[in-house]
Amino acid sequence: MAKKLAVIYGTGFGNTGIMAKAIEEGARGAGIDVIIKKVEEATPQDVEKADAIAIGSPTYKGAGMPTVIRFVESLAKIPLKGKVGAAFGSYGWSGEAAGVISKMLKSYGMDVIEPDLRIKRIPEAEGIETCRELGKVIAKRLRNVL
């Protein structure tokens, strides 16, 4: 059975959403099953069922979106050790969100892909390609680990 990636993200203006869709494309192209959800529609069960998760948030006021951070906090009660994790997000100037999420995923014992992926403002062709690459890296990591 194909390994599963859950891409879960928040976005204010759509920039982190563009990143999420490109990560999805990259992983799908590498033969992984992918579900992609906005954080408002995601549940911890989506994460429980997945072999890897990519969590995205833009940076607002030096932090991640509260909805995304709360969701990641809610994952503390499910077993995540050994699952592959990745954090990503669009930013304007300081870009803390992806770093915060990455640290939280590591604290759960996940195998976190580093560095986290931050793209300034609207992802252009090059940034979209970098996101697709992250999708492929996640797929490759799943094949090696599991």
Write out the residues near ligand FMN by the rule CB under 6 A: 11-16, 58-62, 90-95, 121
Least distance from ligand FMN to the Cβ atom of residue 98, Å: 10
Q: How far apart are CA 83 and CA 61, in angstroms?
A: 30
Among all residues, whose Cβ is closest to ligand FMN?
Answer: 92
- Residue placing its CB nearer to ligand FMN in the complex, 45 or 67: 67
Least distance from ligand FMN to the Cβ atom of residue 35, Å: 19
How many Å separate Cα 105 from the centre of its chain?
10
Least distance from ligand FMN to the Cβ atom of residue 69, Å: 14
Least distance from ligand FMN to the Cβ atom of residue 43, Å: 21
